[in-house]
Structure 1
Amino acid sequence: MSNQSLCRVCGGTVREFFDFGRQPLSDAFLPPGADLGEEFFYRLATGLCESCTMVQLMEEVPRERMFHQEYPYHSSGSAHMRGHFEELAKRLLTTELAGDDPFVVEVGCNDGVMIKALAEAGVRHLGVEPSGGVADLAAAKGIRVRKSFFEESTAKEIRAADGPADVVYAANTLCHIPYIGSVLSGVAALLAPTGVFVFEDPYLSDIVEQTSFDQIYDEHFFFFTVRSVQAMAAGHGLELVDVERLPVHGGEVRYTLAHAGARRPSPAVAELLAEEDARRLGELDTLRRFGENVLRIRDDLTALLRRLRAEGKRVVAYGATAKSATVTNLCGIGPDLVEFVCDTTPAKQGRLTPGTHIPVVPPEEFSRSYPDYALLFAWNHAAEIMAKEQAFTDSGGQWILYVPSVRTV
């Protein structure tokens, strides 16, 4: 096993800085009676490109294994995220999509939570979504959907059929795509001369600062910064012209790209770039220290769970998130430490968590007989969940959090 590889963005040398070990597919929840010997595992490790500073996974999981007809994540599952996307849709309608007969393409539209608001406003639109089940949900809402992966050939076909796009948008999608060169070439081919590519994804600076290591799993191949996005854009005739920090999902950045020279970059780009340089985000030593913090959290969390178990306390988990696979498998958290994990997604209920095989149950099981402690895997929705489950806290229950450190509340 090599501790270096070639950068998927620029071809430079990627040096490994942390190995999470043997991990399963994060969204491959196992049905009852599944042959556990057939479960797919891979090595989850992260590295830094010495040339363009893009942080990326050292090994790629085949995309068809992750995004398929049964893909269980639904963007509209969180009220907070629904509000987030609706707010952006309103903004686009008064800015980039305010012209004559505008056209928008969303890459990875999922169940259509964002593009639905634009469709209802009469905007010509197309969602591109490879996961058939969620694409069907979007289509059922009246959204025009193309079931496919977005790449250069797809983009050229869309342009030939629909004309240039005023906006290409992607939320929590671009970081999933190892063949990113083809995507950016496609964006450049599809965008109108004054069009923009707007995408938002987890921000490496927030991940490092908060040690939110569970943002690293099979579906997240890249971890963006302003510097690495600038370099990535430049290789495809595009330019980073705006950045906006977002409080969702533990900290993201919304990046806006345009054809090189088409727009004057916002001062926010230089400001955030200066912050990154001050934090030495593009240096291996910084990222290795992040790895040391991950190991500290691993040790603290497992010690706490073992102590609670020894004391006879009931511990369950809340939120069968994709990112929880990284936590449970790195820490060795199975049904011996956590009784079950409750989740609102019907497709996950009645199944077992990937790799560690904790039963997933509906949320009603949580309130049927409150546990002593609830390990909050969906910590990025903590405020929403804790407000909803106030009765648990009132009954004396405590939440276990592990970002940025292990604690009970």
Structure 2
Amino acid sequence: MSEGAVATLRCRICQSPLFATFVDLGASPPCEAILTAAEVDQGEVAYPLHARICTECLLVQVPEILTAAAIFTDEYPYFSSFSTSWVAHAKRFVDDTCERLQLDGDSFIIEVASNDGYLLQHVRDLGIRCLGIEPTANTAGAAKDKGIETQVCFLGAQTAAQIVERHGRADLVIANNVFAHVPDLRDFTQGLATLLAEEGTLTIEVPHLAKLIELRQYDTIYHEHFQYFTLLTASRALALGGLVVVDVMELPTHGGSLRIYAQHANHARPPSPAVAQVLAAEKQAGLHTLQGHLGFEAAVASVKRGLLRFLLDAQENGRTVVGYGAPGKGNTLLNHCGIRADLLPFTVDMNPHKHGKFLPGSRIPVRPPSAIAEAKPDYVLVLPWNLRDEITAQLAPTLATWGGKLVFAVPSLDIVTPEGSPQ
């Protein structure tokens, strides 16, 4: 390579050169690289957060500047069970899917990216044999403490073959909210196919790019998410492992997700009418063309202006604002907007592993939820807006005692007076 030359980025599905921009969010540190008190006075690395779109297959993707192994470490700070609504969602999924597929005590279920056992605990309670596959040792340890057998590894074709040799192939393979997190789509999808019994079913839940665009959810773009799917591009990715989509459901989770059901192509049942319906809606929205994906940066700029205007006005008027939550999406928002502790002095989080630490990039302190009642702020900026109902219910009784209000930045600035608070 000659001096000054730049390596060509290539699409994860079709290997075409990547040169078209979907949105460029500048540079940002890894969204879950939360800092200890000792680290907060040290240097920190930020990496480009520039989402491209393949002009051939239309997959929106972030280049693999950070490897999955560097992101999903043995001290990964995200534990799924800290969200009660997410655990309830997992239980509904397990109950509905086991009934739908007629799974029972003779069946076998594998979940990929099983985290702390938030989902497989419900499979265990039904008396169905199950196995978790989870690369982060600390969350896998929490699952093992619940009595859930968990294999600590990244899934690929090779590790899948080793797991099948020991445990057999699964009637149901669950890969919820992980398909966006893998940089090697081909190897991962072939691993899923290897795990799946000949007539088994794979389920995937993944945020829907159509909703990301419609509701300006740009903060869901961060280094953990390597790609962003429509049903069309998810179908193309699944084909890398010889899998085809047989059904789809639209879900409200994560601001709007797809639950995709897939099977081996040579054993697949005919696709349900819902598949054609979702594809038709995507086409109508322009998402089956390159042109339909362009122009998102203007929407991103509008969200940024609205939030900064609110924070600056609040400060100038002597109003106090603190944060709620320390999610990955919040770090994208805060770093893209340049928000630091002068505008948001602290945030709180339910996860005790984050208390006493600092958000990456912004260096905003993370405190226990009790800090809100102690500070009695005028406003609470909710960073995990996808948990709006859950968090509103949690905070409403507390905020009502002094008339505090909730603030949501996405899809546009929304200031909410919880029920029972003085207007």
Normalised by the shorter chain, which TM-score bucket?
Answer: over 0.9
The alignment of Structure 1 onto Structure 2 pairs a total of residues equal to 409
| Shift >4 Å, 4+ stretches | 1-4
1:296-307 → structure 2 map (5 Å cutoff): 296-307=302-313
Kindly tell me: are residues 356 and 100 of structure 1, through their superposed partners in 2, closer, same or farther at Cα, counting changes over 3 Å?
closer
Provide the rounded CA distance (Å) in 1 between the counterparts of 2:123 and 2:337: 43
Residue number among 246, 253, 258 corresponding to 1:248 in the alignment? 253
Provide the rounded CA distance (Å) in 1 between the counterparts of 2:94 and 2:153: 23
Kindly tell me: are residues 86 and 394 of structure 1, through their superposed partners in 2, closer, same or farther at Cα, counting changes over 3 Å?
same
Provide the rounded CA distance (Å) in 1 between the counterparts of 2:262 and 2:156: 17
Provide the rounded CA distance (Å) in 2 between the counterparts of 1:380 and 1:407: 14
8 A Cα contact 1:203 1:225, kept in partner = yes
Provide the rounded CA distance (Å) in 2 between the counterparts of 1:97 and 1:130: 29
Provide the rounded CA distance (Å) in 2 between the counterparts of 1:99 and 1:194: 16
Alignment-derived partner of residue 187 in structure 1: 192
The structural deviation recorded for 1:301 is 1.0
Kindly tell me: are residues 295 and 152 of structure 1, through their superposed partners in 2, closer, same or farther at Cα, counting changes over 3 Å?
same
Between the two proteins, what is the percent identity of the paired residues? 35
1:2-401 → structure 2 map (5 Å cutoff): 5-14=9-18, 15-34=20-39, 36-96=41-101, 98=103, 101-262=106-267, 263-390=269-396, 391-401=398-408
The structural deviation recorded for 1:8 is 0.9
Provide the rounded CA distance (Å) in 2 between the counterparts of 1:26 and 1:153: 29
The structural deviation recorded for 1:277 is 0.4
Provide the rounded CA distance (Å) in 2 between the counterparts of 1:136 and 1:112: 9
Q: Secondary structure at the match of 2:210?
A: helix
Q: Which runs of 5+ in 2 are unaligned?
A: 417-423
User: TM-score w.r.t. structure 1 length?
Assistant: 0.96
The residue identity in structure 2 corresponding to 1:73 is Y
Kindly tell me: are residues 54 and 351 of structure 1, through their superposed partners in 2, closer, same or farther at Cα, counting changes over 3 Å?
same
The residue identity in structure 1 corresponding to 2:27 is R
Provide the rounded CA distance (Å) in 1 between the counterparts of 2:220 and 2:296: 13
CA RMSD of aligned residues (A): 1.7
Deviations 1:90-148 (A, max 9, x none): 12322335257211111000010111111222212110001111100000000000011
Provide the rounded CA distance (Å) in 2 between the counterparts of 1:388 and 1:217: 27
Provide the rounded CA distance (Å) in 1 between the counterparts of 2:34 and 2:320: 23
Kindly tell me: are residues 304 and 222 of structure 1, through their superposed partners in 2, closer, same or farther at Cα, counting changes over 3 Å?
same
8 A Cα contact 2:192 2:241, kept in partner = no
Q: Which runs of 5+ in 1 are unaligned?
A: none
8 A Cα contact 1:4 1:58, kept in partner = no
8 A Cα contact 2:169 2:196, kept in partner = yes
8 A Cα contact 1:55 1:223, kept in partner = yes
Kindly tell me: are residues 219 and 385 of structure 1, through their superposed partners in 2, closer, same or farther at Cα, counting changes over 3 Å?
same
Kindly tell me: are residues 159 and 3 of structure 1, through their superposed partners in 2, closer, same or farther at Cα, counting changes over 3 Å?
closer
Deviations 1:123-177 (A, max 9, x none): 1211000111110000000000001111111110111111111111012111100
The residue identity in structure 2 corresponding to 1:328 is L
Provide the rounded CA distance (Å) in 2 between the counterparts of 1:171 and 1:85: 10
Q: Secondary structure at the match of 1:106?
A: strand
8 A Cα contact 1:75 1:113, kept in partner = yes
Kindly tell me: are residues 283 and 406 of structure 1, through their superposed partners in 2, closer, same or farther at Cα, counting changes over 3 Å?
farther
Provide the rounded CA distance (Å) in 2 between the counterparts of 1:353 and 1:94: 42
